[in-house]
Amino acid sequence: GILIKDAATLEKLHKVNTVVVDKTGTITKGKPELVHVQNLSKLSDEKLISLLATLESKSEHPIAHAVLEYAKAKGSSLLPLSHFEIIKGKGLRATIENTEYFAGNTKLISDLHLAFDLSKIESETMQGKTPVILAIKDDVLGVVMVADAIKPEAIQAVKDLHQLGIKIVMLTGDHKNTALAIAKQVGIDDVVAEVLPDDKLSKIKELQNQGRVVAMAGDGINDAPALAQADVGIAMGTGADVAIETAGM
């Protein structure tokens, strides 16, 4: 099930001593599910999910699909929205019913300078769950937790790579605790979490500058520049077209 685009990629592959992996869709199945809703507002749970699903309806991210699936199962309807914008590596914003809403990770919330008690989500991120926070300009409305199961073959793959003397680094935009919890379960050496898409590229360059020969495996739109920079780019067949286009394998 491996497609190799050219002979040069194969020539380079046996020299690789560091494999950089994305988390979602590479180590995990990439089919996250919404597992918990924490409503911190005066809105009903249904309204909260409806707002969040409306924001996420324009996103391609696997987490967005999880929110939409949940909303569909609960019968929540999507609302008209305008001024939609993706905030790279952090989340989304849009105007719904004349109010500007934000949905995203903890970085987005700190950018908005909102008071938010991180300990509320600490224990769940320790279990490898990812928080998605819904907010308006001056208040956090709620948090949903999304869990993405580890691919059963990932643990064996990491063992096999270790036996070949290859170091494995996980690079992810996800929450630090979430990433560490998953890395621990799979046996990954080194974790760089909460990275913005452009940081993935610079991390690969940094490893190459240390004299390491780097293969990068990823599946997302934001992995494409890093896949191109790596000595060998490996895309998951289930991933975004642009990642598949950019990779050598």
Cα dihedral 124, 130, 136, 142, rounded to 10, equals -40
- Active centre residues (catalytic): 22
Question: Among 84, 82, 53, which residue's Cα sits nearest to residue 66?
Answer: 53
Q: Name the token pair of 32.
A: 């996250």
Beta strands across the sheet bearing 18-21: 190-192, 167-171, 18-21, 214-218, 232-235
Q: Name the token pair of 246.
A: 């950019």
